[in-house]
Amino acid sequence: MRIKNVKVYREDKSFEEGEICIRDGLFAAPGEETENSGEQEETLDGEGCYAIPGLIDIHFHGCMGHDFCDGTEEAIEEIAKYEASVGVTGINPATMTLPVEELEEILATGAAYGKKQQAQPDPARADFLGVNMEGPFISEEKKGAQDARNIRLCDVEIFHRFQKAAEGTVNYIGVAPEKEGALEFVEAVKDEVHVSLAHTNADYDSAKAAYDRGACHAVHLYNAMPAFTHRAPGVVGAVADSPHVMAELICDGVHIHPAMVRATFKMLGEDRIIFISDSMRATGMPDGRYTLGGLDVDVKGNHATLVSDGALAGSATNLMDCVRTAVKKMDIPLETAVACATMNPAKSLGVYETRGSITPGKKADLVLLDKDLRLKAVIKDGNVLTETGR
């Protein structure tokens, strides 16, 4: 396949007018597919669209009435189908703070789905890349929409139970470093999983100690953590002072003020920021009452709040819409926003060799956007899911 007349997003984070070649589900060097194939070349006219890699969401819970924690392969299939339809071709869904045995079952289901998907690839569904465990090793004070009844102290044995059930697919585990045993936990598992600071009431010193001991990630920066102030910089200050740490941002226009998003880019730089959606099951659905982690949530527009206390309960916005919001309402350059939803998450997950950029040899997952960033086509593994003109 040849996709002509597009602005191609390059690894140096620039757009260049040109074309994209695909052979056997992978990006190919221009002309390579015609040299190795006797069949007539399929051509897609990109009509001047931006051509960007398929997005990767490393932290979200669900969409279209389904949640990863529903614990069924059918739910994951429907989630993966929706995500692919909006240009998110790689997913790393998140768990909630639930009983240990229930989490083991959810993780086992995710692992089974992942193996099934590898054995029987379906280009109409986003690739399952693993799991982001947001709980249960978090803080009661900053639990947000997590169920406090299931919060536990960090426990290496329990983490290994999780990873065994998940067949090694847990990529991130969240901790509150101020809690008893948390720093020792970080040191014990840092070589097995990305340790995140998540739903924590830690001050600067506690957070920095965790990062110095091997934690390397921050879950939805600014949310479910102490405020960033000039005398008490908290977790945000510790992230800023820890160059190896990558931080998630929810750019849905609800969770973080645009000025703070811009300030974060100035503070951390564009290579350390990962856009996430943190979307819950109401995403793609009408306004109404839904559940998240067993708790009731009211959704109106893109606001999702707990019925019990009004706390923000994830988002009702997919990652592609977050990218649009970052560009159109937060003044983040498109080139930067794309990197934060493709290259940066791929690098954090350790899969940049195979996805995350439009590079010969990588999976042919890409999205075409018009000048107003409206979705014109999704191509996954070289298969056109939604298409513009030919």
pLDDT band for 162, please (50, 70, 90 cuts): very high
- Nearest 5°: CA angle at 274, between 364 and 241? 140
Read off the pLDDT of residues 340-353 as tens digits, 9 standing for 90 and up: 999 999 999 999 99
Mean pLDDT for 45-50 is 95
Read off the pLDDT of residues 186-228 as tens digits, 9 standing for 90 and up: 999 999 999 999 999 999 999 999 999 999 999 999 999 999 9
Which residues, listed in sequence order, are joined to residue 62 by a DSSP beta bridge? Answer: 67
- Is residue 155 within 8 Å of 175, Cβ to Cβ? no
pLDDT band for 389, please (50, 70, 90 cuts): very low
2-52+360-386 belongs to CATH 2.40.30.110: no
- Residues taking part in catalysis: 278
Q: Structure pTM?
A: 0.95
Q: What is the layout of strands, in order, in the sheet containing 366-369?
A: 26-28, 15-23, 2-9, 43-53, 366-369, 375-380, 383-386
What architecture is the 55-349 domain classified under in CATH? Answer: Alpha-Beta Barrel (3.20)
Across all residues in the chain, what is the average pLDDT? Answer: 94
Q: E strand or H helix at 23, and its extent? A: strand 15-23
Read off the pLDDT of residues 95-112 as tens digits, 9 standing for 90 and up: 999 999 999 999 999 999
pLDDT exceeds cutoff 80 at 40: no
Q: What is the DSSP string of 166-221?
A: TTT-EEEEEE-TTSTTHHHHHHHHTTTSEEEE-S----HHHHHHHHHTT--EESST
More confident residue, 330 or 36: 330
Please state, in angstroms and as integers, the Cα–Cα distance from residue 117 to each residue in 77, 279, 328, following that order: 9, 22, 35
3-state secondary structure of 91: strand
Residue 252 phi/psi, 5-degree rounding, is -95, 0
Which amino acid type is present at position 379?
I
Read off the pLDDT of residues 130-146 as tens digits, 9 standing for 90 and up: 999 999 999 999 998 89
Q: pLDDT at position 39, please?
A: 58
The answer to which of 166-180, 203-217, 264-278, 281-295 has the lowest mean pLDDT is: 281-295
Which residues, listed in sequence order, are joined to residue 170 by a DSSP beta bridge? Answer: 131
pLDDT exceeds cutoff 60 at 387: no
Q: What is the DSSP string of 286-330?
A: -SEEEEETTEEEEEETTEEEETTT--B-SBS--HHHHHHHHHHHH
Q: pLDDT at position 33, please?
A: 47
pLDDT exceeds cutoff 60 at 34: no
Q: pLDDT at position 314, please?
A: 79
The structure tokens listed for 301 are 């527009």
- % the chain with pLDDT above 90: 88
Which amino acid type is present at position 356?
G
Query: Domain ranges in the chain?
Result: 2-52+360-386, 55-349
The answer to which of 79-83, 164-168, 285-289, 372-376 has the lowest mean pLDDT is: 285-289
- Is residue 184 within 8 Å of 195, Cβ to Cβ? no
Q: pLDDT at position 386, please?
A: 74
Which sign, positive or negative, has the C-alpha torsion 229, 233, 235, 236?
positive
More confident residue, 390 or 26: 26
